[in-house]
Structure 1
Amino acid sequence: MMYISRRLTAINPLHDTRFVIVDSPDHFPPDEWSRVVAVFTTGQLWQFKSYKWSTPQDLFANLKGFYVGWSGETPPGTVASWGNVQMVNIEKNRRFKDREVMEGLWDGIETWMVKKGWGARR
């Protein structure tokens, strides 16, 4: 388990939003799923077997998805058909662009949270 704090101005412009990063939801109580905002996928279906929504289409209809891969490499074919999964492309030979890639990822999370009403209720 890891914690990250980040200022998301559309969610709360005065205070940082705290995120809890976990590698597995195996021990989530059912009410924890209402606090999940994003899932990083490897593109493998087995990854979702213990999730509240066990099919990728249902999961990514409810949560923001991210697939991280190398720029120029093709993600697993099924990922594109899952819907709300944003491709995060890391450039092997231009690692100075990592900051730009991360900002795009955070923009995706913030946009999704606003769409789901997080700024209004939390």
Structure 2
Amino acid sequence: MTAVANTPSDLHLFAGDRIVVGDAVDALIMRAGFGAEVNGILTRCMLRAPIIRSAGRQREWIFLTQPRTTLRQATWTDLVRIQVGWLHIGAEIPLPGPEDWIQRPEVGQPLPPWTAVVSAARSASSVCGLW
């Protein structure tokens, strides 16, 4: 089993074959082109998310984040409108091979807050229109 632990100072991937969404890590899924826009916004905000190319659906990216927090219903509605998905607690992501990382985790860098990636996606949608 793969464990992803997010501490204030580090992201650790332990040996195994999958990442389990739960207490330590969460994930948002979006189309690759839109994900590039979201990643650009995160970068300008000095945040860095590990990004995985979705297995079997290469036009989607999976952003790894800190665990989700409570959101207003309007925010959930916006995510659905802009076609940003999320994985349910307990969902498993196959551990990516070297070619499947769009952006690898960096030692010493914590995962970005889930809300920061949500906010970046909402901002990207207002800049780019409806994707």
| TM-score computed with the length of structure 1 as normaliser | 0.28
Rg bigger for which structure?
1
Structure with the bigger percentage of helix: 1
Q: Which has the higher contact order (CA 8 A, sep 6+)?
A: 2
